[in-house]
Chains A and B, each alone.
Chain A
C-alpha cells in the first residue's frame, strides 16, 4: 500500500527565505504527483502537477521536483512571503492510472513578516 510522508509537519521561517518542503512515497510506481495548498477552513488549491516522466515543474516562485526512483519530491518556494502561510500537501496517483490519490499529511508553513 502506498504511503506518503511529508516532513517536517510544521515549519516557521522569516519572510524572504527560500525554503524546501519534502514529500516521500514508498511505491515508486506512480503516474503523477501533485502539490496542493490548503488555507485554514478552505479547500485545496492545486499548485503543480508533475507527470512521472518529468523531473520538475515551475510556476512563479514555486518549483517542484520529482525523483521517482528514490520516491521523493520537493517543493521549493523562493523568497517566501507571509501570504505563503498555509498547509502544503502532496498527493500521488498510482502507476496503474487508478483514480485514488494518496495524500501526505501536509506541512504547515508559517512565514513571519
Chain B
C-alpha cells in the first residue's frame, strides 16, 4: 500500500513568488492535514481538510491556503513568499475515525526561498 506522496520533494523559489505543493493521501484516507517544520519552530499545524472542507486552521497568515479535491488529494499554496517560509512542508493523512486514528506523514516538500 503506497504511503502519503508529496510533490515536488525539493524546490527553490524567489521572494515574492508563489508556490503550490501537492499531496496524495494513502488510498482510502479522507482526512488530510499540512504541517510546516522548521529548526526554530518545530512542527506547526497549518490546516486540515476532510471531504473537501477545511475543518481546522493553524495560526498562519492568509498567504497560506489549501484545498482538497473530491479524490482526497490536497494542495497547499503559499503566495508572496518570504525568506521565513523556507521549511519542510509535511502532509499527513488518516482514516476518518475519531478515536485515536493514526496520522501518517509523507516525506515532505523542502521549500527554499531565496
- Tell me if chain B binds chain A: no
**Residues in A lying within 8 Å of B, measured CB to CB:** none
Which residues of B line the A interface, CB within 8 A?
none
